[in-house]
Amino acid sequence: MMFKTHMAFALVIAYAAYRFFPDANVFVFTFLILIGAAMPDIDNKRSKISQKAKMVSALINSLTKHRGIFHSVFIPLGIYFLLDMILGGYYGMALALGYLSHLMIDAMTPLGVNFLHPITTLRLHGPIETNSFVEKILLAGLVGILFFIGAQMI
């Protein structure tokens, strides 16, 4: 999926999830979800996050392949537990939710996602090609939802 589709879906998730964290700073919460939604593609040299964190991306790319361990549930679980132990609060949950939102939407593509990599080779996948007309319709729908949410807040 395209970066902007990941970000739009993450914003919808942020809106839905924030209701469960009313004491959280809405801006920090949303920012962490957006960062989490970008993180799985650190293993893709051409991704936006890899372009911003070139050294980290180069190291990760030397050790893994795209849609390997960084597209499994183990990384967001680790992020959640580590940040929860260190910082407490909602920080780890927000990053993990964003991360999982990325995996959910990538599972809609033909390449799919192996949520339990490296334990299994089972991939969940769907029919939506990256940057296809169907993805653009999905993106338009997500943007429509965001406009609807925004209109309710006015």
The pLDDT tens digits of the residues spanning 68-94 come to 899 999 999 999 999 999 998 899 999
- Residue 105: is its pLDDT beyond 90? yes
Average pLDDT over residues 38-53: 89
Of residues 154 and 83, the one with the higher pLDDT is 83
* pLDDT exceeds cutoff 90 at 154: no
The reported pTM is: 0.92
- The answer, yes or no, to whether residue 67 has pLDDT greater than 90, is no
- Give 93-97 contacts, CB < 8 A, sequence gap 24+: 93/17, 93/21, 94/14, 94/17, 94/21, 94/24, 94/28, 94/29, 94/32, 94/33, 94/36, 95/32, 95/33, 95/35, 95/36, 95/39, 96/36, 97/13, 97/14, 97/17, 97/33, 97/36
